[in-house]
Structure formats: structure tokens, C-alpha cells
Amino acid sequence: MPIAPFDLNPRHLRALSTIIARGSMSAAAEAIGLSQPALTQGVAKLEQRLGTRLFERYADGMIATPAGVLLAARADAAITCLGQAMRAGSRGFARPELLMTGTQLRAFLALADHGGFARAAEAIGLSQPALHRAVRELEQICAYPLVERRGRGVMLTARGNRLARGVRLAGAELTAGIAEIVDDPGEQAGSLTIGAMPLSRAVVLPRAIARFVSEYPRVRIDVVEGSWRELIDPLIDGVLDLTVGALRDAPPSGVAQMPLLVDRLAVIGRAGHPLAGNATPPTETLAGYPWIVGQRGTPIRMQWESLFAGDALPAAPIECGSVMVMRQILRESDFLTLLSPDQVELEIETGVLAMIGTALPDSKRTIGISMREGWRPTRMQTRFLELLRQAAGLPENQ
């Protein structure tokens, strides 16, 4: 059965780096305020749950195994995520993140995800009174409200939302730590959650996933489709591991970008469109037909507007970001749109759609990977990044 991050006792996880620094169980127990038997038993439970040794025991002390070093670093990073979420306005304990239990964190995150005590309790197998109690205890530790009632449901407060982000990021760190302990790709379970913007779904992402699953057959891959606006907050919150799609010239704070390839747009219409045989249709001719365009503020919408710069924009009665919907409209009408030829490669090859003219010379879009700043991918995640680069045709040493 997969190990959930908050199934492991946070207090015992927090002790790992102290044991490494002090070199003995007794010195670490004294430093963190636990009895030596309690800490010894706690570390033994961690090792039993994970199925691996975290420390080698000797007569004169303890030395962390590679697995112990990895998990200790991830546990420290998880504590940092919780601490950063608590920095604004805490009036209670000096370091409340050190007092939180796995049950409290699991209950609060379930409430944040499901929006109600009943649904949250059912999702994680707790009774409603137990979940209520766990969330109220967490509020006492934080010294401010985390949830507020809205009609028959509940909503997180602003501070509750901030803590939820911290808990998700902490959970992502611990999940990564658990995954890193398993060395054999064929035996490694776990999951990879990818945000896929429209162009990434055409070529690069499918190729990388196909190669990845042959190396990691037990890893579950979740592909979440959406626009940049729909995917950026889940990425920052730690819900997504990474996103693949068009990069932004100025990404938001906390987001790092890795370019993969440069794509060009083209005017696309049905194969029998009146302009299909025109190699270089002038913009005034293109403006005589209705258009399907992206939403305001998106890069593709700005590219469309720049195509007609200085002239009146043509009629654009349809705003749409779904390539599937756009393809169907195009094939049954004289509408035009801007797309990457890769996105409709099959339709062009089979004679359903056609490029109107050639790829636009000034329509460069950089396609790449977006990830959280400071994100430390596991070996499995690092391999997926390598496969994305290979699928984009980048040299391995670049």
C-alpha cells in the first residue's frame, strides 16, 4: 500500500537531521525534548514503515544511511514550507510548524481540497468529530482562524489558504523523499502530475510519456489539461509537479522556466477554404473571413492582434482555447485561426485542414517547462525532464 506523506510522524521526521548532527540517539533526544526510548521507537517505526534502514547503529553512535540522509533533507524542506506559510501574523507559538501532527495536516488538507467536513472526513477515513477536532487543534496551534462558515459549507480564510499551500508543498517534499528511497525504476511506484497546455499535447509530451512509462511501469501519470492561467496556481501550490507549454516573458514570482523548443504559428483553415491555395495571402484578404481567437491576454491572442497591427481587427465571434473544438469548427466553416501546425498535423496530413500560406515569421513562441523555484526533482522526475528534452530534440549535455 502506498505511503502517504502525512502517514509518517512529523515529529520523528523532524528528529532525523538532529540525529545526524548529534551522532547519537541520546544526544538527539535531549536536543528535541523527547525521551531516548520514545525517539528510538519512533525511528524504528519509520524504518519499518518505509522498509529500509535510515541509520547504522554502532556502539559509539549512529551514522545515517543514504536513505536517511535523503529523507532528513526532505523532512527539513517540508518543515521550511510549513514555517514559511506561518510567518505572516502568527500570534501563538514561536515555531508552530514544529507542533503540527500528521493527523492535523492530513485533516486540514482534506478540508481544503473537499470544501466540507463531511466530504473531507469520508475522503480520508476519519469520523467528522475527529476531523473537526484535528482542524480546531491546528487553529489553536496557529492562533488564528483557518476556516469560516459560508452557508452550509466552509471556506478557508486568507491565512487558511496560505497554510494549505504550505501543507501541499510540505507533502510534495515528503512524497519526493519517500520516492527517492526506492532505487529500482521497475519497482518504483508513485505518481507524476503534469500540467499540459495545448501545444505540449501535440508532440513533445506524448513522446516523453511513452518513453517514461517503459522505464517506470509502476508510476502513475496524471495529465491535467488547461491553459496557462488555469495551471499556474496549481503549480505554485504543489498540486502539479511541472507544466509543459508556452513560456511567459515574465513568469510570476516563484516560477522557473526551462525552454525546450521554438514554435511558429500559421493561419489554419479547412482544406477546401477559398484561401487554401494562396501561398501568401495579404492581411486585408485574411481580414475578410471570421476568426476563432484565444482569450484576451494570452500569447496567441496577442500574436493574432499583431498580425493585423495598424489595421482594424477582423470579426472574431468565437473565443476558444480548445484545439478539439476549433478543429471541428474549422472543418465545417470558412473560419480561420492561428495554431501551431504541430497541433493539427494529422488533420493536415489527411487533408481535413490546411495551412493558409506559410508559418508566420514573427510568431515565435517558446515552448518549455515551468516549475517551482527551488524545486528539487527526484531521480524519477529528473529522468522525465531528460525525456522531455530528448523529445524536443535537445542534446543531452545542453
CATH of the domain at 115: 1.10.10.10
Q: For residue 8, which of 165, 178, 182 has the smallest C-alpha distance?
A: 178
Last-in-domain residue among 166, 197, 215: 166
Task: Tell me if 176 is assigned to some domain.
Answer: no
Q: Same domain, yes or no, for 258 and 115?
A: no
Q: What's the structural domain count of the chain?
A: 3
Q: Same domain, yes or no, for 44 and 139?
A: yes
**pLDDT at residue 398, as a whole number:** 52
Q: Same domain, yes or no, for 319 and 227?
A: no
Question: Read out DSSP for 344-394?
Answer: GHHHHHTTSEEEESS--TT-EEEEEEEEETT----HHHHHHHHHHHHHTT-
Instruction: Quote the DSSP letter at residue 16.
Output: H
Q: Same domain, yes or no, for 211 and 80?
A: no
Task: Tell me if 46 is assigned to some domain.
Answer: yes
Last-in-domain residue among 135, 166, 197: 166
Task: Tell me if 84 is assigned to some domain.
Answer: yes
Separation CA 169–CA 329 (nearest Å): 41
Q: Same domain, yes or no, for 160 and 104?
A: yes
**pLDDT at residue 243, as a whole number:** 96
Q: Same domain, yes or no, for 384 and 332?
A: no
User: In the sheet that 190-196 helps form, which strands lie side by side, from edge to edge?
Assistant: 219-225, 190-196, 242-246, 364-372, 255-264
Instruction: Quote the DSSP letter at residue 120.
Output: H
Give 156's strand partners.
147
Q: Same domain, yes or no, for 335 and 270?
A: yes
**pLDDT at residue 205, as a whole number:** 92
Q: Same domain, yes or no, for 144 and 65?
A: yes
Q: Same domain, yes or no, for 213 and 339?
A: no
Per-residue pLDDT of the chain (398 residues; tens, 9 = 90+): 678 899 999 999 999 999 999 999 999 999 988 899 999 999 999 999 999 999 999 988 899 999 999 999 999 999 999 998 887 555 667 788 888 999 999 999 999 999 889 999 999 999 999 999 999 999 999 888 999 987 777 899 999 999 999 999 999 999 999 988 865 554 556 789 999 987 776 778 999 999 999 999 888 899 999 888 899 999 999 999 999 998 998 899 999 999 999 888 999 999 999 999 888 899 999 999 999 998 888 878 888 999 998 788 999 999 988 888 999 999 999 999 999 888 888 899 999 999 999 888 888 888 999 999 999 998 889 999 999 999 998 876 55
Last-in-domain residue among 139, 166, 193: 166
Task: Tell me if 171 is assigned to some domain.
Answer: no
Task: Tell me if 179 is assigned to some domain.
Answer: no
Q: Same domain, yes or no, for 153 and 51?
A: yes
Task: Tell me if 85 is assigned to some domain.
Answer: yes
The torsion angles phi and psi of 205, rounded to 5 degrees, stand at: -65, -45
The residue range of the domain holding 320 is 266-362
**pLDDT at residue 91, as a whole number:** 61
Helix (H, G, I), strand (E, B) or coil at 52: coil
Task: Tell me if 324 is assigned to some domain.
Answer: yes
For residues 252-266, one letter each, b for 16 or more C-beta atoms within 10 angstroms of the residue's C-beta and e for the rest, the string is eeebebeebbebbbb
Q: Same domain, yes or no, for 9 and 146?
A: yes
Task: Tell me if 347 is assigned to some domain.
Answer: yes
Q: What is the CATH number of the domain that holds 385?
A: 3.40.190.10
Q: Same domain, yes or no, for 148 and 195?
A: no
